[in-house]
Structure 1
């Protein structure tokens, strides 16, 4: 029995050590601009943890290295929104209908791409996201979709799906109204992080049960994602009439008072 317990203890120690080594080897992302100019604005970003960044520019999907050098880009249907990386795949929240319509005239999907070459693998209809699928994140083998919101609705919604995109349940976030709902989503540092439009732009933070843990004036409405070494990635972007739109990432860290703080 003692030997069995010792073996388990050693195995546990080795697993922790491997995880720590993987964390140490993971790239330390810093500020980087995505190469190129795009017709429409940045909707979201994610990273695979080994050096690749994925960018959704509404109707163009881009893969770059950690410095922003483009490795692959493809045209996609508008509106491709926020995205997440999971198990060798990139998943994107897509709405082909109307956003924020009180009558629920969205046409919501999740498109799935091979992370290596951005070839399309699958499309999943998610009819429950009636106000328009705008963002997606993964946690614990489940997928969580966020999106649009009609005016004057004083709460947001998160739609949970299993690995096959069978609907599990709708979660309510008692956030108060946020302009056009939630744009971006990530699970990191033991919390959910949701980026919202508005003036000022708003960051929502909840616990695992979607109970409010903070509401901050911080802009991650164009992208938010977990990264290694206690850091997070935040999407930034700008558009110039007649020229086009650009995107970049910044590293940030969680902060109890301010939500997230950009790391210089």
Structure 2
């Protein structure tokens, strides 16, 4: 009997630990906001970050708000690195000829979302709209004038010294690139349009896929290889909500959302 009780206790503890640490899963961001969702990322452990243009939120994996702060307009797609949240910011015009944007990267504390520093990235001449990191380098994406038939990816080191502008042979995408993520050995980029477009590139930024799939409000990978995309809609009160959905590979659409 004693042995049975011990085994039962071990089993309950094991099951409990699984349910308490079941990783990231589809979740809604609480509340609704005046401006729409621009991007999402995670800290790879237990938190999700949501950028709503002029507001940043941090939630746990269940959607409970842990931090909620106002932010300069226009905050774009974020990324996370070593306890800090990095957000692409444009204080000027998007999608215009060089000289009208005012592009920055803002750095926030990953815990309480306190603003820590600001870094100018003037090379992003059409407006900084998103940021991702891989292999010790940040890649900033952004707007695009109507007459340009390729996208630009701006590489910075960890101190935000400009390194190089990469050309992505994607053809024109409406308003450039909105979201960016490196996951599972590839770069993923979300673009506006009717319909929306997703771009996929290898580590050297060679385009390997282009599909009609919507990840224009956010795409993020997790350590176990799962991809999530963000979606949002306008509420009857003319506010904007957001949610995170799981996605898997699909031959026709690049990715597809699953329950």
Which TM-score applies when normalising by structure 1?
Answer: 0.88
- Corresponding residue number in structure 2 for 1:249: 244
What is the rounded CA distance, in whole Å, between the counterparts of 1:108 and 1:26 in structure 2? 38
- Corresponding residue number in structure 1 for 2:165: 170
1:1-264 mapped onto 2 (5 Å cutoff)? 27-240=22-235, 242-264=237-259
What is the rounded CA distance, in whole Å, between the counterparts of 1:135 and 1:249 in structure 2? 17
Shift of 1:29: 1.8
Please say if residues 230 and 253 of structure 1, whose CA atoms lie closer than 8 Å, have aligned partners that are also in contact: no
Q: Deviations over 1:16-46 (max 9, x none)?
A: xxxxxxxxx9753221100111110000000
SS of residue matched to 1:240: coil
Q: Using a 3 Å threshold, how does the CA distance of structure 1 residues 121 and 54 change in structure 2: closer, same or farther?
A: same
Please say if residues 27 and 51 of structure 1, whose CA atoms lie closer than 8 Å, have aligned partners that are also in contact: no
What is the rounded CA distance, in whole Å, between the counterparts of 1:26 and 1:126 in structure 2? 38
Q: Using a 3 Å threshold, how does the CA distance of structure 1 residues 240 and 163 change in structure 2: closer, same or farther?
A: same
Please say if residues 26 and 50 of structure 1, whose CA atoms lie closer than 8 Å, have aligned partners that are also in contact: no
Q: Deviations over 1:188-238 (max 9, x none)?
A: 010000000000100000011111100011100000111132211111111
What is the rounded CA distance, in whole Å, between the counterparts of 1:260 and 1:229 in structure 2? 17
- Unpaired runs of at least 5, structure 1: 1-24
What is the rounded CA distance, in whole Å, between the counterparts of 2:22 and 2:103 in structure 1? 34
- Unpaired runs of at least 5, structure 2: 1-19
SS of residue matched to 1:238: coil
Shift of 1:256: 4.3
Q: Deviations over 1:63-106 (max 9, x none)?
A: 00112111110000000000001111100000000000024310
What is the rounded CA distance, in whole Å, between the counterparts of 2:99 and 2:258 in structure 1? 40
Number of matched pairs = 240
What is the rounded CA distance, in whole Å, between the counterparts of 2:185 and 2:191 in structure 1? 20
